Amino acid sequence: TSMKSREELMTVVKDALAETLNTDAGKITEETRLVNDLGAESIDFLDIVSELEKEVDYEVDFKALIASS
């Protein structure tokens, strides 16, 4: 797969957030806060990551992510 531009990645992220959180993608900006502005809960983050993994054909290593926090 080819590398996506910044604009293409933002569209993918906005669409994934809108789908997962049942909101309008047009209301999402780079400054939008997932919890405070969109009402995301911890379980939503798993759905968001899963959706993004499918869209960009990349698998997040949760063990490494948890270990680094």
Q: Is 15 exposed, middle or buried (0-12, 13-18, 19+ CB in 10 A)?
A: middle
Write out pLDDT tens, residues 11-47.
999 999 999 999 999 999 999 999 999 999 988 988 9
Residues 5-9: what's their mean pLDDT? Answer: 89
Model confidence at 55: pLDDT above 70: yes
Q: What single-letter amino acid sits at 27?
A: K
- Which of 60, 36, 64, 37 shows the shortest CA–CA distance to 48? 60
Question: Distance between CA 45 and CA 49 in Å, rounded?
Answer: 6
